[in-house]
Amino acid sequence: MNEDNEIIEEVIVKAPKVKVVQSYVEAQRLVEEAKHIVKESDHESEACKLLLESDLKEYEVAKESLESGGLEVCVSLLEELGYIEFLSSRDEEANKGFEPNETIVPMYVQNVSSGRFTGLLSALLAGTVSLIGLVYLATEKLGMTLDISQIPSGETMGTIVSWFATLVGLEQSVYVGTAVLFVASASIMAVIYALRVILKGKHNMHFAQTQLEKAQAYKEAKEECNWEMDKVEVHMKETLHTLKMYEVLFREQKGKLERILHIEGAKSNEEEYHAQSLLEIRDTKSLIEMIQDFMAIAISDEGKLSEQSIQYLELSREKINKVLARFYQ
């Protein structure tokens, strides 16, 4: 019986082992590679989002600093000077910052199993069924009828088992019959087990390769999203610098407007102002209009950097350069 058990173990476990292990290991390697790709993509995306969130907070702080640091005062002074017709209402709610187009569904890479356990269960089930079938075949050949409501006697089982020795051309023998019966059942179990693990191995490879391809596509989609956020991050840095420049200019213009109001007073006609004073008033007016228009534009448009925001940033910088050019003539 020990020898029979060794035969069963040899046939069922060791025969397909090398091929199964190789395919399983390769499938696991592909799965781990897919997991690494997804993990790195998510990590880079999260780092990009955190950096962008930091820039957006700085942007809100810079806007508040600009408004309290000179813009609001300059608007008030222009109103006192009677130069308020340019102050049109602007949709401050239009600018809600950058909102990425999050259409990428998070990806979760699944592990693969070797199929050995389910293969063993399938083999045991098949072996049991085949054993019952063979016993039934023997009773038919022997003209016997088993009462399934009770356990057969030892003599009856001996007769049935002995019959299997005749299948290999030998006289009836319990020992030979038992060996034939178990070898036959083990052969069926080995076939079922091998089929299960081989099919599982093929499925694992296909499944792992599919997940790897999806991980590559996921990475490309994330890279495109990150690239858009990188563009916004650069845009935000330039915007912060521009807002700071406007804040500096408004602080300077604030002093000039206060001087004009104190010395010349408010005029009913702009032509009554001194030519240089009128130039300062108009420069302040154009700066306010430009920066208010710029801050009212949404940074993002359908998850991408707004072209209008890019355009107005450039116009805002050009306005600064024109004013500075007059200062340094």
Q: What is the mean pLDDT of residues 305-323?
A: 90
Do 215 and 107 contact (CB within 8 A), yes or no? Answer: yes
Which residues pair with residue 300 across a beta bridge? 305
The whole-angstrom separation of Cα 249 and Cα 256 is 11
Share of the chain above pLDDT 90, in %: 13
The H or E element containing residue 145 is none
Do 8 and 189 contact (CB within 8 A), yes or no? Answer: yes
Q: Which residues contact 89 (CB under 8 A, 6 or more apart)?
A: none
Q: What pLDDT is recorded for position 167?
A: 67
More confident residue, 296 or 200: 296
The whole-angstrom separation of Cα 264 and Cα 83 is 14
pLDDT tens figures, 247-259: 999 999 999 999 9
pLDDT tens figures, 299-312: 877 667 888 889 99
Do 63 and 239 contact (CB within 8 A), yes or no? Answer: no
Residue range of the domain that includes 304: 2-327
Task: Read off the amino acid at residue 192.
Answer: I
More confident residue, 40 or 135: 40
Q: What pLDDT is recorded for position 315?
A: 93
pLDDT tens figures, 138-166: 676 666 766 565 566 566 666 666 776 66
Q: Which residues of 139-154 are buried (b: 16+ CB within 10 A; e: fewer)?
A: beeeeeeeeeeeebee
Q: What pLDDT is recorded for position 161?
A: 66
Q: What angle do CA 314, 317, 321 make, to 5 degrees?
A: 135
pLDDT above 80 (res 177): no
Six-digit token string for 141: 């050949």
Task: Read off the amino acid at residue 123.
Answer: A
The DSSP code sequence of 170-212 is ----HHHHHHHHHHHHHHHHHHHHHHHHHHHHHHHHHHHHHHH
pLDDT tens figures, 41-98: 888 888 877 877 888 888 889 999 998 888 999 998 998 888 765 444 444 444 555 5
User: Per the structure, how many domains does the chain have?
Assistant: 1
Q: What is the mean pLDDT of residues 123-128?
A: 74
Share of the chain above pLDDT 70, in %: 71
Six-digit token string for 50: 């955190």
